[in-house]
Structure 1
Amino acid sequence: MKRLRLLPHRSFPGYAYLPGRQPHPVRDPAGHSYRVQPVPVSASLDSDEFAWGHDLFNFGYYWEAHEAWEGLWQVAGRGTPLRALLKGLILLSAAGVKIREGKRTAAMRHAGRAAGLLRQLRIPHQPFSDALGMSPALLADLAEATASAPPILQVTAPGQPEPVFDFHLGTH
């Protein structure tokens, strides 16, 4: 399945962070985002930062996708469906990190929490389905399926991204 970039002009980080294996991206002076100032964001499905999270997620930069979506989550209105969607994507990204680390129990816990939030979005949320390329409920099912039967990972160079989900998030 071909993975398309939403923001091809934006460069991916120098490595896909896995805890304990590379320098911490923001705390370590050798980190890929050390002293990078956060950009102002608006909590919107149409924002560049939301699209950047898609690109990072789809190409196996799960920790980085988590960070991109967390910035949006922090400014999203409390109790809103958008905030629940963003939290679900953050947890799904965390599950991707745990799968790459070989921590199946933690991956299942994060994927389960993500699925619970995504399934709460039962009322018609066509903008969410359009942004994800699938319904939130289908994404919940796929997240749990991947975490319960994680893929066999390829041997990659340290810091090399590796998509672990057999789906990708669509365009909006």
Structure 2
Amino acid sequence: MRSDRLLYELEPEGFGGRHCESWDQWRQKANVALPNFPDDVLEQWVYRHWKGVLCNWGWLDFQSMRFELEQWETEKIQSLIKTPHQEVVDKLSSRMSNALFQRSWLVQDMQKHGTWPVAPIVLHYERDIDVMQGKVMKAPYNLLEGHHRLAYLLRLAEQDADLASTHSVWIARIPLH
């Protein structure tokens, strides 16, 4: 079942404006509509990126999604996580050599801790899915949220930086109907 209508109903009041509904207020209605979503996932994905979630992922069945927080080694992340927006990840990754991006709080935090501060969200699916404009979500793992984090981790790995042995990853699964 598509989630477009549900996501429209979950729009944070004032989204994109100065006086957006607070996370705590919004979470109350979101927890009722999406009881299987961990607060971390709700906040970093649906609340913060509501319009992008609606436009890019509204066709997914959010009410059937289940989440599990897993620990993955860097090599597993490098080899298994794909995205139909690989050009965005590549562009962000290449920017890490720019001195301006080196001052980014996220880059500095990841260099300091060897991992990301918040787990990205990855969809596990059994088959490739055509999504839009000739793009394909390649099975079995596709990034839903966390393109900056993935790009920076991949670049740190390329540079042989001192990385944590494992990294947290939210795995979303949708049972096939």
Query: Could you say whether these structures have the same fold, taking a TM-score greater than 0.5 normalized by the shorter chain as the test?
Result: no
The two structures have a TM-score, normalised by structure 2, of 0.26
Which structure is larger by alpha-carbon Rg, 1 or 2?
A: 2
Q: Larger strand proportion, structure 1 or 2? A: 2
